[in-house]
């Protein structure tokens, strides 16, 4: 009987991924992204990988038979995709299956930030409604606002459709204007921020997005402005944001992502006009299971049918070369 394909899982990943992979493959687990943790036998034989976190160039170099890295999540910045592409290794991610969940969370975070619903619930639970009377009126409202979306990809489009349901006009900024959307386009992030009073960041972690939401953008957003970030903490200049919230440069912010997760800047914790959640935008059982299934399905499709389901743009290889799939079963 032909030996099963070996799949590497470095670090922690949702166990549903491992359970699915164990049905068809031999799974090799190591504690973290560290090539020294692999035996020579495993290193020589591993042909695929499933990862939720980092998969660096050193680990890729250690695996001469590696063909695919299936990454858990839409963002795949933890994988050294340049090193993978140089070797002809296909990298996949999990788009679409979490679009609605993240978009729902973005709108929820926006409402909580503007209407201060978490603080209102705390007021009730602490007995202050009985002891002190009604919770103070929220100084902000969604009424009459205009929203700008920084990054109009799949999730950005889902957020935009929800904002339309609230009667909030939508504009956007991306590297290039989209011809297939009805929303107003601004060629720079500063122009977008100046034209709206809600700015929602949903861009990936790239060199071009590092701290792009800085003091200049926050000033353009203005004293009635609200910042929401459900993309990557990398995008926001933390010090500039803390200062802008403290001195009234903008009105409020809601963050689900942070630059150095799980560490949150201490200055954020004391700001009454900031709502914080611990990177939970896609964190429902239903959605995380769908993401796990897509990780496994990519590996199954590649090694049993010779096709990647969701390759990332940097490694657009859709078909597998080499031995027939039947010989690998």
- Which of 107, 86, 207 lies closest to 155 in space, CA to CA? 107
d(CA 34, CA 62): 10
Mean pLDDT of 208-222: 98
CB atoms within 10 A of CB 272: 9
- Domain match, 159 and 302 both: no
Contact by Cβ (8 Å): 231, 199: no
pLDDT of residue 317: 73
In a domain, 41, yes or no: yes
- Domain match, 12 and 149 both: no
The domain that holds 60 is classified in CATH as: 3.40.50.720
- Which of 69, 2, 65, 1 lies closest to 33 in space, CA to CA? 69
CA atoms in the 13 A half-sphere facing the CB of 230 = 28
In a domain, 107, yes or no: yes
**Which residues does the annotation mark as catalytic?**
232, 261, 279
- Domain match, 72 and 124 both: no
For residue 31, pLDDT over 90 is answered with yes
Number of compact structural domains in the chain: 2
- Domain match, 70 and 138 both: no
- Domain match, 143 and 185 both: yes
pLDDT of residue 3: 78
For residue 323, pLDDT over 60 is answered with no
Mean pLDDT of 19-46: 97
Contact by Cβ (8 Å): 260, 233: yes
In a domain, 297, yes or no: yes
- Domain match, 168 and 259 both: yes
- Domain match, 72 and 185 both: no
In a domain, 144, yes or no: yes
- Domain match, 180 and 271 both: yes
Residues 6-26 pLDDT 10s: 999 999 999 999 999 999 999
**Beta strands per DSSP E along 44-133:** 46-51, 68-71, 90-92
Residue 232: its H or E element: none
In a domain, 230, yes or no: yes
In this prediction, what percent of the chain has a pLDDT beyond 70? Answer: 96
Q: Show the domain range for 263.
A: 99-276
Mean pLDDT of 204-217: 96
Using 50, 70 and 90 to split pLDDT, how confident is the model at 326?
A: very low
Mean pLDDT of 162-191: 97
Burial letters 4-14, b for 16+ CB under 10 A, else e: ebbbbbbbebb
DSSP assigned state of 117: H
Mean pLDDT of 188-209: 97
In a domain, 88, yes or no: yes
pLDDT of residue 318: 60
pLDDT of residue 320: 76
Residues 6+ apart with CB under 8 A from 321: none
Residues 55-91 pLDDT 10s: 999 999 999 999 999 999 999 999 999 999 999 999 9
pLDDT of residue 322: 59
> What's the whole-number average pLDDT of the chain?
95
For residue 324, pLDDT over 80 is answered with no
- Domain match, 92 and 109 both: no
- Domain match, 18 and 116 both: no
Q: Report how far apart, in Å, the C-alpha atoms of 123 and of each of 6, 111, 135, 224, 276 are.
A: 54, 17, 7, 25, 17
pLDDT of residue 316: 87
Residues 298-319 pLDDT 10s: 999 999 999 999 999 999 876 7
In a domain, 1, yes or no: no
In a domain, 281, yes or no: no
Q: Report how far apart, in Å, the C-alpha atoms of 271 and of each of 103, 248, 266, 294 are.
A: 25, 11, 10, 39
- Domain match, 207 and 260 both: yes
- Domain match, 113 and 258 both: yes
Mean pLDDT of 23-38: 97
């Amino acid at each position: 009987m032909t030996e099963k394909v070996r799949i590497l899982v470095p670090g922690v990943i949702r166990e549903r991924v491992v359970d699915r992979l164990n049905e068809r493959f031999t799974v090799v687990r190591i504690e973290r992204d560290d090539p020294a943790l692999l035996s020579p036998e495993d290193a020589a034989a591993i042909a695929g990988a499933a990862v939720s976190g980092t998969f660096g160039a050193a680990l890729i170099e250690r695996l001469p038979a590696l063909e695919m890295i299936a990454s858990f999540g839409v963002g795949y910045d933890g994988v050294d995709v340049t090193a993978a592409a140089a070797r002809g290794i296909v990298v996949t991610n999990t788009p679409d299956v979490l679009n609605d969940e993240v978009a729902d969370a973005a709108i929820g975070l926006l409402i909580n930030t503007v209407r201060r619903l978490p603080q209102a619930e705390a007021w009730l639970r602490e007995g202050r409604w009985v002891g002190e009377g009604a919770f103070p009126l929220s100084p902000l409202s969604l009424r009459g606002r205009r929203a700008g979306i920084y990054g109009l990809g799949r999730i950005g489009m889902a957020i935009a459709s929800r904002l339309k349901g609230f009667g909030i006009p939508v504009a956007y900024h991306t590297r290039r204007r989209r011809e297939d959307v009805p929303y107003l386009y601004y060629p720079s992030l500063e122009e977008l921020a100046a034209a709206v009073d809600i700015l929602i960041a949903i861009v990936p972690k790239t060199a071009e997005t590092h701290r792009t939401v800085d003091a200049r953008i926050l000033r353009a957003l203005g004293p009635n402005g609200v910042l929401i970030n459900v993309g990557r903490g990398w995008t926001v200049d933390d010090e500039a944001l803390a200062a802008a919230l403290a001195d009234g440069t903008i009105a409020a912010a809601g963050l689900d992502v942070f630059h150095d997760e799980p560490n949150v800047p201490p200055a954020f914790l004391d700001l009454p006009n900031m709502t914080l959640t611990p990177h939970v935008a896609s964190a429902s059982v239903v959605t995380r299971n769908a993401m796990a299934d897509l990780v496994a399905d990519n590996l199954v499709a590649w090694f049993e049918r010779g096709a990647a389901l969701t390759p990332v743009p940097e490694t657009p290889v859709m078909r597998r070369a080499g031995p027939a799939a039947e010989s690998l079963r």
